[in-house]
């Protein structure tokens, strides 16, 4: 038996810019969607549909609901205007490793940034921090597993490989709810 020894080079570990930008876009979409959901919850709380947990009076709830709404719109605006990458290529093992490493590093980067920028100032900033932590932890744990599963089973299912970006986005949003 002869074994072939592959030589490692810089080219085998290079990161594809479009794959990394699509992961950053996914992170922004999930963070913006989670903030939008929190904005809707604050609006429902200020209008009296749910019990008041975060606000002391309805004006405060409407104020923070609008701030959260505009922050979420800005975060959702970023990948649409600046990244413009809506496809995750997960066909080869190199792409799988690039996607998993970029998801972990993007989640780690944003976790550290939000931990440094958002200090414990008030209850709403604490909730923003909890949402950012949930998105990052979901990126650490659930998304690499999903990428691996899509890599193995996506070859047989054409629909999954065609809509891999949307599938990963929906699973990332759903798994973020577990960590909240």
Residue 10 resides in a domain: no
pLDDT at 126 (0 to 100)? 85
Residues 6+ apart with CB under 8 A from 36: 68, 69, 72, 73, 76
Look at residue 14 and tell me whether its pLDDT is greater than 70: no
pLDDT tens digit sequence for 33-65: 999 999 998 898 888 787 767 777 778 888 889
Query: What's the mean per-residue pLDDT of the chain?
Result: 82
DSSP E strands, 55-159: none
Q: pTM of the full predicted structure?
A: 0.84
What domain range includes position 138? 17-179
pLDDT at 122 (0 to 100)? 83
pLDDT at 117 (0 to 100)? 84
Q: Please choose, from the candidates 140, 83, 74, the residue with its C-alpha nearest in 3D space to the C-alpha of residue 111.
A: 140
Number of domain units in the chain: 1
Q: Apex CA 22: angle with CA 16 and CA 26, to 5°? A: 150
Reported as a pLDDT band with limits 50, 70 and 90, residue 2 is: low
pLDDT at 7 (0 to 100)? 52
pLDDT tens digit sequence for 122-135: 888 888 888 999 99
Residue 11 resides in a domain: no
pLDDT at 53 (0 to 100)? 75
Residue 7 resides in a domain: no
């Amino acid at each position: 038996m002869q074994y072939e020894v592959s030589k490692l080079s810089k080219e085998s570990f290079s990161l594809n810019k479009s794959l990394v930008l699509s992961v950053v876009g996914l992170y922004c979409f999930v963070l913006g969607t989670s903030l939008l959901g929190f904005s809707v919850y604050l609006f429902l709380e200020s209008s009296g549909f749910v019990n008041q947990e975060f606000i002391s009076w309805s004006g405060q709830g409407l104020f923070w609901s609008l701030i959260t709404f505009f922050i979420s719109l800005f975060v959702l605006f970023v990948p649409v205007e600046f990244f413009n990458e809506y496809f995750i290529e997960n066909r080869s093992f190199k792409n799988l490793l690039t996607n998993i490493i970029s998801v972990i590093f993007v989640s780690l980067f944003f976790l550290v940034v939000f931990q440094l920028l958002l200090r414990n100032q008030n209850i709403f900033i604490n909730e923003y921090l909890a949402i950012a932590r949930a998105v990052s932890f979901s990126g650490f744990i659930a998304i690499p597993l999903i990428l691996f599963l899509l890599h193995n089973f996506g070859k047989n299912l054409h629909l999954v490989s065609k809509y891999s970006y949307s599938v990963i986005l929906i699973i990332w949003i759903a798994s973020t709810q577990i960590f909240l």
